[in-house]
Structure 1
Amino acid sequence: MTISLIQKYNVPGPRYTSYPTVPYWDQETFKRNLWIDSFKKAFRESNANEGISIYIHLPFCESLCTFCGCHKRITKRHEVEQPYIQALLKEWELYCNEFDETPIIKEIHLGGGTPTFFSTEHLTMLINGITSKAKIADNHEFSFEGHPNNTTKGHLQTLYNLGFRRVSFGVQDYNPEVQKAIHRIQSFHDVARVTVWAKEIGYTSISHDIIYGLPFQKLEHIIDTIEKTKSLSPDRLAFYSYAHVPWIKGSGQRGFKDSDVPKDDEKRLLYEKGKELLLKNDYVEIGMDHFSLKSDSLYKSLNNGNIHRNFMGYTSSKTMLMVGLGVSSISDSWYAFAQNEKDIEKYYQLLDQNTIPVVKGHILNEEDLIIRKHILNLMCSLSTDLTEDLDKVDFSTTLSEMKEFESDKLIEVKGNTIKITRKGRAFVRNICMAFDLRLQANKPDRQLFSMTI
């Protein structure tokens, strides 16, 4: 990969966990009642044959990690736990009141924030409260994000007993200088301990999250982190690009200078070396940023053509309807997106009024649905066929940009099929941007997204 390609394509761009992306949602036409109609339609179409997914946002953290762009509230006051759990269960009840039949839960994911901020008692109350109003699919996948510093063996055993079989531990980097800069100080011993516990208890998919491009991070740090990770043999890895977005309120990324962050070819070298080491150790590249062993469900879903991407990232199964519970959570009915109130106190107020607490969203039109399909194809299977949609959407701008990608050998075009090459995988976000007709029609006058490389 040449430096010139990196310089050419390293521009701000979405990660495409949705289309349209959040900054391009049409909030003028969005109404809560339209969202309710949308998820009821998706529920009727899909509950019986594929079930639904639930994402639950648990926003509390005891300290701020400066690499994190998620919505969170920093506190050491654990008395916040119970009222928040009660609010989540109230929100779930409001959704259940709209369903025509008992929901079948295929996926639950606990994200944050720090889910293991919560006690085992409160997590039990939450999951039992959710599942008491539903059936659990035979092939369900329950997962959660665990902080190595505060995930206890009790957390792991309790959630395992509740049906969880996948856990993701945030590692980021093992170098002390990098850890100090991102305010996430944790030892290899702590990560090893929780990983071993999870294996002993019986978790079938253990994931580690690693980030490249962090402040002060050097090539030897990536090599050391990957070597240590290899010794623990997690089933899958998320190898994320650090998103340097200090303009976002509350990101905490003003604690170091822009010059402390690796950029362009220097940053890409960190990824390429990490990827090289992972591939040498039996990990397979899965879409963007993800690697897994062949024994993991993510690899199997890739081979079976079932891999999916949504606001939770890549998942090993698809559901049309994903219900987001908790502050800032985003729900997806395929036909519409809806995001909850971000302020906890206002979130509580809406629930006190027996109101599903969505405050913004987007109803997809026919063109949106077609574009969404093709971007999802590219993100998940690295190819898409435009044949059946050429007379429905004006792809002239897209096809014009494809010529440049083809010239740079990032894609292969055969007839109406576009396939991303091995060389082009690093630029999948750029290729998807050429399909993003809303972005093409309204270029932002300020930076909305992190850099693509």
Structure 2
Amino acid sequence: MISQSLLSKYNVPVPRYTSYPTVPFWKEEIDVQQWERTIAKKLQEANAGDGSSLYIHLPFCESLCTYCGCNKKITTQHSVEHEYIEALKKEWKMYLRLLNGEPLLLRELHLGGGTPTFFSPENLNAFLSELLSDCTIHEDREFSFEGHPNNTTIEHLQTLYNLGFRRVSYGVQDHDATVQTIINRIQPYENVVAAVENARKIGYESVNFDLIYGLPMQNLESMKKTIEQSLVLKPDRVAFYSYAHVPWTSKAQRLFDESHLPDASLKIGLYQLGKELFQKAGYEDIGMDHFALPHDQLQIARKEGRLHRNFMGYTTQQTSTLIGLGVSSISDSGNAYAQNHKTLHDYYESIENGEWAVTKGYFLTEEDVAFKKYILDISCKGTTKFNLNDLELIRVYSINELEKLKNDGMINYDINGVQVTTLGSSFIRNICKCFDLHLSRKGSEKFSRAV
């Protein structure tokens, strides 16, 4: 059991490190021609190597979940599906042209949102079948999607399974009726049971749950019940996320009274309770709020040193190139990031004009590439080795924080590198922060707290 005082000490605003540098330090405008040259080169290299990842953002939801910080568009009009899919197809063709007629070597595909299962099975099948016909599928591929238990039908599951999807992540969040009401996500437990059973009957190899601690009206008793109900269904992995209260960027979070949020002490208690229950049930701590059963590919990749982290979170695929399609999607060439317009209007306008929809981004320096590796190593392997050329920067920006973490039993380190301890595995974000030179130099409070 981690002490309350230690959790309180490190419960500070800190990034989730799905990128480095993190988004607040990107440029508000990007050199589009430079981006095109960069991503073209990297896609061609990936085609000759381990392949690329593809993320498709499907932003529509039928109702507003007030806790949600994702880019979404609320509508009950399913006629929007066609226009959006047509824009995705045009954007996809723009990336394909960079390969001079060659198919893309696709290793990883993920559908996120919004609510991907807002789209009908028929529309998903038509769009994805066409997209996949432009690809060579890597033998070690992983296709996954995010599903809402209320509207992920057997038809959705079977259609996506037939296309090669083998993992589904259900946004469960919380089973408690009071919590569901205040966050406007009414989701009967029976619907979750049906969604899980249907996926397993069809043959999905990994059924995952997203749960959130720190939501309004949560308490230890309700959290315990939510986790116990979830464990009955034995999800293969669980993302046990800390609720990020950022009303300055997610206006919907202003719709509930902040007095209903658990205070810092209770939120820490919720995390402790969840970690204890998951580990008692046989789940192993991956780090950064993720738990997985020993047979799950995420846990196997971690043990074999193959774990990777990108904008889709933890993944078993170590691709260095990620294409993001759709509104607000982020692409990653390994040495540059580019984010699409965040509004449908701007996204549609760019695509209709035959222009790249990217607007915000960042080109990494040699220093960024070096420290990105340290952060990825810590978050995925729990250890990293220093390059002698970086020791002066580490001495100036990292040593003081590393010394504090060492004194608190979270790491061991010397001139060669860092090793995370068992205790430190619960503080991965804090350890990564030691190597965030942008944050050290400029500072920022634009992040959620660690717990």
**Is TM > 0.5 for Structure 1 vs Structure 2?**
yes
One-letter amino acid matched to 1:451: R
Identity in percent = 49
Q: TM-score, normalized by length of structure 1? A: 0.96
Displacement of 1:257 after TM fit?
A: 2.3
* Counterpart in the other structure of 1:139: 140
1:395 positional shift: 3.9
1:234 Cα deviation (Å)?
A: 1.3
Residue pair 1:370, 1:389 contacting (<8 A) in 2 also? no
Match of 1:196 in 2: 197
Superposed displacement of residue 247, structure 1? 1.5
Taking the aligned partners of 2:75 and 2:230, their CA distance within structure 1 comes to 30
Asked if structure 1 preserves the Cα contact closer than 8 Å seen for 2:59 and 2:71, the reply is: yes
Contact kept? 1:181, 1:255, Cα under 8 Å: no
Q: Paired residue for 2:448?
A: 450
4+ residue runs over 6 A deviation? none
Structure 2 residues without counterparts, runs of 5 or longer = none
Contact persistence 2:60–2:72 (CA under 8 A): yes
Q: Cα distance 1:448–1:280, how it changes in 2: closer, same or farther (>3 A)?
A: same
Residues 1:155 and 2:156 are matched in the alignment? yes
2:431 equivalent to 1:431: yes
Secondary structure in 1 matching 2:225? helix
What are structure 1's unaligned runs of at least 5 residues?
Answer: none
Shift of 1:266: 1.6
Please give the per-residue CA displacement for 1:5-34, whole angstroms capped at 9, x wherever unaligned. 233221111111000000101346x30111
Distance (Å, rounded) in 2 between the aligned partners of 1:4 and 1:394: 28
1:169 maps to what in 2? Answer: 170
Matched residue SS, 1:254: helix
One-letter amino acid of the counterpart of residue 417, structure 2: T
Question: How many residues get paired?
Answer: 449
* CA drift at 1:131: 0.8
For residue 3 of structure 1, report the CA deviation from its aligned partner. Answer: 2.8
Instruction: Render the CA deviation track for 1:70-103: whole Å, top value 9, x for unaligned.
Output: 0000000000001101110110000000114321
Aligned-partner residue type, residue 12 of structure 1: P
- Aligned-pair distance for 1:265? 2.8
Q: Which amino acid aligns with 1:8?
A: K
Mapped pair 1:69 → 2:69 = yes
Q: Secondary structure at the match of 2:318?
A: coil
The match for 1:302 is 302
> What is the CA deviation profile of residues 289-312 of structure 1, one whole-angstrom value per residue up to 9, with x for unaligned ones?
111111111111111111111100
**What does residue range 266-345 of structure 1 map to in structure 2 within 5 Å?**
266-345=266-345
Q: 1:363-402 to 2 correspondence within 5 Å? A: 363-390=363-390, 393-402=393-402
How far, CA to CA, are the matches of 1:9 and 1:336 in structure 2? Answer: 30
Are residue 222 (structure 1) and residue 223 (structure 2) matched? yes
**Structure 2 letter corresponding to 1:286:** I
CA distance in 1, matches of 2:180, 2:195: 19
Is residue 169–residue 209 contact of structure 2 (8 Å, CA) maintained in 1? yes
Q: Distance in 1 between matches of 2:428 and 2:253?
A: 26
| Aligned equivalents of 2:82, 2:210: Cα separation in 1 | 29
Amino acid at match of 1:422: T
Deviation by residue 1:148-178 (Cα, 9 ceiling, x = unmatched):
0011110000100111100000111111111
Tell me whether 3-12 or 378-387 shows the greater mean CA deviation: 3-12
Contact in 1 for aligned 2:18/2:310 (Cα 8 Å): yes
In structure 2, C-alpha distance between the alignment counterparts of 1:188 and 1:73, rounded to whole Å: 26
Residue 15 of structure 1 is matched in structure 2 by 16
Question: Which range moves more in the overlay, 157-166 or 2-11?
Answer: 2-11
CA distance in 1, matches of 2:381, 2:189: 34
Task: Tell me the residue number matched to 1:413.
Answer: 413
Structure 2 length normalisation: TM-score?
A: 0.97
User: What corresponds to 2:183 in structure 1?
Assistant: 182
Deviation of residue 268 (structure 1)?
A: 1.5
8 Å CA contact retained: 1:287, 1:381: no
The Cα offsets for residues 22-75 of structure 1, whole Å up to 9 and x where unpaired, read as: 0101346x3011111111221232222211110000000000111211000000
Distance 1:389 1:182 in 2: 49
Kindly provide the amino acid, as one letter, of the partner of residue 420 in structure 2: I
**Residue type of the alignment partner of 1:230:** L
Partner of 2:213: 212
